[in-house]
Amino acid sequence: MPPLKVPERFRNGIVRVAELGQIEFEQLISALQKAPACQDTRELLAWIKDETPLLTESDRVAIISAIVPMLRVQRNADVSAQAFARDVWDSLASAIPKAMSSLEKDLVITRVSLLIEQSSLDVASARINDVKREVERNFCKVRILTDLRPAYKKDSDDAPSDMAVIHNFQIGYHDGMSNHNEFYLSLDGRDLELLKKAIAEAEARASILERTLEKSGIRIHR
């Protein structure tokens, strides 16, 4: 298994875990132990709000938003909570040494390992995202830039005789290591029609599957 790299967007949440007072942290753990199975982090945050009056809203959001996806990483890696928490410390100590220098290593490891052992953090949406991402590349964004490309006659001194409308299709994706990458495709009007047709067909098939699954009581996640 390659060294763990905690994404930048989750780092503040881990730091806040360590900065909580002991009473605040115990209140959070107690709330998570009592929390029911939730569909997503928003539902979980709404449930624990009244159970954690000593925590600020920003602390709750930062911590839960960081720990939920990291719990999935730990389970997929099939390592103990303690070992994973040590990897989290090593990653952050390397990435943000200044912020981590004021924190107690053993406290961070103990609290992170305790948090990722809470079953209420294993929300349904995180499990679904795991299934969606079990491919080599995961789509993250798209952009189409349209421009004109001139076609010149044989004599380059002449004005362009024709113009082509070109659509530069920019697709962004994350690889298996969560690194962002991009590639480009050149499309014309006929290509756009093919793309629209393929999307419409995929949406139609998805609707059929959703109607079928709803009859069996299975929840649908788009």
Q: Are residues 93 and 117 in the same domain?
A: yes
Domain count, the chain: 3
Which one of 51-60, 138-147, 157-166, 202-211 scores highest in mean pLDDT?
Answer: 51-60
Do 116 and 149 fall into the same domain?
A: no
- Statement to judge: residues 21 and 90 lie in one domain: yes
Task: Indicate if 26 and 63 belong to the same structural domain.
Answer: yes
Taking the C-alpha atoms of residue 7 and residue 178, their distance in angstroms, rounded to an integer, is 9
Which of the four pLDDT bands, split at 50, 70 and 90, describes residue 178?
low
Q: Which of 55-59, 128-132, 159-163 has the lowest mean pLDDT?
A: 128-132
- pLDDT, residue 130, reads 65
For residue 1, tell me if it sits in a domain.
no
What is the chain's percent helix, strand, coil content, to nearest 5?
55, 15, 30
Which pLDDT band, with edges at 50, 70 and 90, does 177 fall under? low
Q: Are 62 and 18 in a shared domain?
A: yes
Who wins on pLDDT, 59 or 129? Answer: 59
Report whether pLDDT(19) > 90: yes
Taking the complete model, does pTM exceed 0.85, yes or no?
no
Which residues span the domain enclosing 207? 192-222
- Whole-angstrom distance, CA of residue 110 vs CA of residue 50: 25
Q: Is residue 2 part of a domain?
A: no
- Helix H, strand E, coil C: the string for 38-97 is CCCHHHHHHHHCCCCCCCCHHHHHHHHHHHHHHHHHHHHHCCCHHHHHHHHHHHHHHHCH
Q: Are residues 209 and 101 in the same domain?
A: no
State what percent of residues in the chain have pLDDT above 90: 55
Same domain (yes/no): 200, 182 = no
